[in-house]
A and B are shown apart, each in its own frame.
Chain A
Amino acid sequence: MADLSTDFVGIKSPNPFWLASAPPTDKEYNVRRAFEAGWGGVVWKTLGLDPHVVNVNGPRYGVIHGADRRVLGINNIELITDRPLEVNLREIKAVKRDYPDRAMVVSVMVPCEEWAWKEILPKVEETGADGIELNFGCPHGMSERGMGSAVGQVPEYIEMVARWCKQTTRMPVIVKLTPNITDIRHPARAAHAGGADAVSLINTINSITSVNLDAMCPEPMIDGKGSHGGYCGAAVKPIALNMVAEIARDPATAGLPISGIGGVTTWRDAAEFLALGAGSVQVCTAAMTYGFGIIKELTAGLSEWMDRAGYDNIAAVTGRAVPNVSDWKNLNLNYVTKARIDQDLCIKCGRCYAACEDTSHQAIGMGPDRTFEVIDAECVACNLCVNVCPVQDCITMERLPAGATDPRTGRVVPAEFGDWTTHPNNPAAHAAE
């Protein structure tokens, strides 16, 4: 059976699933129950200096629902812990003492001044925690006070604070990055330059989930006003995966450990983060939606898949897909496919036809008896029909073999690789001389 135990920058946990710094890890009661349920670790809800912050007393969350009120995404306007520092430290210490095999990482957010970090880190260290995570990500509330994403958006600050922390504590330092930035590689490089042991990402995305059209106010609405919040959950996974991959394949940060965060809901999501370079994953929204019990599906599923796929341990999965994350210019333009519709599986809904006819290349014909067939002479293999088809594997993309003629272009499919860098239409392409 696959070994799920994880060693992430020296922080050990029985599995790679940590609860992210958020309400589920705000206090001892929750974390004990999470550990009993089987979670590999937690990142304790972000600590700050006293006097502790206060939270709004109205709604803190907005939501995007799918079918049957399935939670696709949540945004929040909650701040860091609103309990006294001393209480949190005492609880962290007690839990770590009772669960020595679990990862106990503590999230920290204090003003961007050296004295503040030097003041709080020894207190955290004294709890016996395994590591710290610098919260440079929260995009709401704290950012207005020069903390959270206000720091994460300035690579120089990231480097500076990371360096202070490394100088101050023995604990591994993980820098949590904000996605509210143009190019995620720059803050990651800064963390690396500052000596951080790892980065974790993504924190939440600036968002307004919905507008109350009666009150003409964004949700969540606090007495007639709303504020942008941080978006998370399954909806943000594609953004998170890309950012993780960007850092993993950046030569400047190659090998920098990554804790993947953003919409991990099932074992498959976790496997995808691992494949793109993550060494552990953090989960929040799924737990907030379904409770701690999902850890059983996450661990059992990941283990089952690793056994089937032949991966012995987490390290064997980490980064496995990174070599195949490429630039567009390196994609093989001689790879020619055509959509194929399996008539036995087709239920004749016509969504492929509507999508192609109205919005794409008019490459699907509708025959009598609602028979839908691909017109190869028009099909550019865009995949939209595959995406909108409600039946899995009913429409597939089949490759034209080398030597076949593409009826759309009239050109014979070459056997050799050919990308944009050598394409005759590319003004920058130079023939070898």
Chain B
Amino acid sequence: METGRTTPGVVAGRLPPDAYETNFADLHPRYDPHEAHVAADRCYFCYDAPCITACPTAIDIPLFIRQIATGLPEAAARTIFDSNILGGMCARVCPTETLCEEACVREAAEGKPVEIGRLQRYATDTLIGAGVHPYTRAAPTGRRIAVIGAGPGGLSCAHGLARRGHDVTVFEARPRPGGLNEYGIASYKTPDGFAQKEVAWLMQIGGITIEYGAEIGRDRSFDDIRAAHDAVFIGNGLRGVNALGLDGEDMAGVEDAVDFIARLRQAGDRAALPVGRDVVVIGGGMTAVDAAIQARLLGAQNVTMVYRRGAERLNASVYEQNLAQINGVRLITGAVPVRLHGDRAVERVEFAYTSDEGGRLVTMNDGFWLPADQVLKAIGQVMQPLTADPEAALDLDGTKLRTAGTGAVPSHPGVFAGGDCTASGEALTVTAVAQGRDAAAAIHDYLTDAQPAQKEPA
């Protein structure tokens, strides 16, 4: 019998060979010039525009849209990159429906915002597509800065520093740059290897070296890195994954959603990727949605996403929830897994309903079962400490790094941080870019004002 959607177990090749390309094609294809002009013309060029305020990188959105409308998308791209050097990726992955487009006055007026994200992509693709890097590097300063993590925060910071003439070494644990842009985001949001193209384009500034396979705390010591550089930026994200804490988590078929997504992103041939017939995704955030939709796109027959709290508490935006449901994902809220059943491989998951009692989640006695040959866990990621030495440990705010407004880590002069590993801001690509950018400015000030007299002896 041929393998299909209903074949039991975790198997590859559930779909006809040509279905994969269709399923994982660009979610929002790039506008053609006419579409861009029509969309751009809807912008009201608001005073002190709410979309700018809503953008963590504060891109001058009305200006770049006006530049598109007047026929200069390249100039629009420069406006975007001036505030957000990863404006190309942000145009693809930003939850614009909760940021700029939610704030757009036309959302208030008509329930139909100016399509800022797609216009941003139209603009940024012109320069990146042409391989034109619009910035030049200042004269070398001789300063050396370490950036930990080649994700959005680290790359943004590295570019800002390199532009100012500093020499940057980026230490990246994985074999490729990009962080979640490369490993953690649904394929249909950034197809055609865009994450790598963007990094290559960004690196054209010069002065940035990336060391791959260099995980701080495993391959290199944080203290050594710090001693060997004039400043350090930490942008290593959340490398740990929360566990369910249930028996049977080590059964075959149970894995972290981030690993499933990363495997998908790195796959050359998606037809060779195994996926379950009955997939259960546990969690309510963007990672859960990305995993659930892609499981469907790979050919899973039944994909159910289960979130422990009520629908109003889902981290995934309404747009993402709708996208999941359009793609045939079933969404269940108000239930937690209490037991994983199976022999060596998972066979079903037992859930209990929950009740939110004044913010406290109470597990009820009543529940249900879901058949499952694959369980994807997406209940949050955690920071991994850079050093095991409690003396050298960096200050935490909750479970993440405590930083000042500029990204400075108060307990460690010369150390700055940004992105998901810090306690400030939402865990978004665009927030990481903003924090990396601002930290680069702060590091530059630190180096030019404070160095070398105030540098502590290593």
| A residues lining the B interface (CB < 8 Å) | 67-69, 347-351, 353-354, 366, 370, 390-391
Contacts and interface: CB of A to CB of B under 8 A. Distances in A.
Interface residues of B, number: 16
A67 B50 CA distance: 23
Contacts of B37: 68-69
Interface string B6-47: 000000000000000000000000000010011001101111
Contacts of A391: 109
B106 interface: yes
B114 to A, nearest CB: 11
Contact of A347 (B47, B48, B49, B106): B106
Nearest to B62: A349
B109 A351 contact: no
Nearest to B110: A347
A331 to B, nearest CB: 31
A353 B108 CA distance: 18
A370 B48 CA distance: 9
A390 B47 contact: no
B106 A350 contact: no
8 contacts: A68-B41, A348-B50, A348-B108, A349-B47, A350-B49, A351-B44, A390-B44, A390-B109
Nearest to B108: A347
B105 interface: yes
Nearest to A68: B38
Given A67-B41, A68-B38, A350 B108 contact: no
Contact of A351 (B41, B46, B106): B46
A349 B105 contact: yes
B109 to A, nearest CB: 4
Nearest to B44: A349
Given A347-B105, A349-B105, A390-B109, A370 B45 contact: no
A350 B48 contact: yes
Contacts of B105: 347-349
Contacts of B50: 348, 370
Nearest to A348: B105
A354 B47 CA distance: 6
Contacts of A69: 34, 37
A350 B46 contact: yes
A347 B108 CA distance: 6
B139 to A, nearest CB: 37
Contacts of A353: 47
Nearest to A358: B47
A353 B106 CA distance: 17
A384 B37 CA distance: 26
A349 B41 contact: no
Contacts of B47: 349-351, 353-354, 366
Interface in B78-116: 105-106, 108-109
Contact of B45 (A67, A68, A347, A351): A351
A348 B48 CA distance: 10
Contacts of A390: 44, 109
A75 B171 CA distance: 63
Q: Which of A349, A350, A390 has the most CB of B within 10 A?
A: A349
B47 to A, nearest CB: 3
Contacts of A370: 48, 50
A342 to B, nearest CB: 13
A308 to B, nearest CB: 28
Given A69-B37, A349-B47, 13 more contacts: A67-B38, A68-B41, A69-B34, A347-B105, A347-B106, A348-B46, A349-B44, A349-B46, A350-B47, A351-B44, A351-B47, A366-B47, A370-B50
A180 B268 CA distance: 69
Contacts of B42: 67
A351 B43 CA distance: 12
Contacts of B108: 347-348
6 A-B pairs closest in CB distance: A350-B47, A354-B47, A67-B41, A347-B105, A349-B105, A349-B46
Interface string B395-422: 0000000000000000000000000000
A347 B109 CA distance: 6
B75 to A, nearest CB: 15
B69 to A, nearest CB: 9
Nearest to B69: A67
Contacts of A348: 46, 50, 105, 108
A358 to B, nearest CB: 9
A353 B44 CA distance: 13
A69 B105 CA distance: 24
B348 to A, nearest CB: 51
A213 to B, nearest CB: 11
A299 B15 CA distance: 58
A370 B46 CA distance: 11
Contacts of A366: 47-48
Nearest to B42: A67
A370 B109 CA distance: 15
B63 to A, nearest CB: 13
Contacts of B44: 349, 351, 390
A265 B34 CA distance: 24
Contacts of B49: 350
A241 B209 CA distance: 68
Contacts of B34: 69
Nearest to A370: B50
Nearest to A67: B41
B54 to A, nearest CB: 12
A350 B45 CA distance: 9
Nearest to A389: B44
Contacts of B38: 67-68
- Pick from A366, A370, A391 the residue with the most CB of B within 10 Å: A370
A59 B92 CA distance: 42
A26 B95 CA distance: 56
Nearest to A345: B109
B37 to A, nearest CB: 8
Interface in B288-310: none
B122 to A, nearest CB: 16
A68 B35 CA distance: 9
Contacts of A349: 44, 46-47, 105
A25 to B, nearest CB: 32
Nearest to B106: A347
B105 to A, nearest CB: 4
A366 B49 CA distance: 13
A69 B37 CA distance: 9
Q: Among the interface residues B34, B41, B47, B105, which one has the most CB atoms of the partner chain A within 10 A?
A: B47
A384 to B, nearest CB: 14
A135 B50 CA distance: 54
Nearest to B47: A350
A392 to B, nearest CB: 11
A133 B105 CA distance: 51
Contacts of B48: 350, 366, 370
A257 to B, nearest CB: 41
A179 B50 CA distance: 45
Nearest to A66: B41
A370 B47 CA distance: 10
Nearest to B43: A349
B215 to A, nearest CB: 46
A386 to B, nearest CB: 15
A418 B388 CA distance: 87
A353 B48 CA distance: 10
Most buried by B among A353, A366, A390, A391: A390
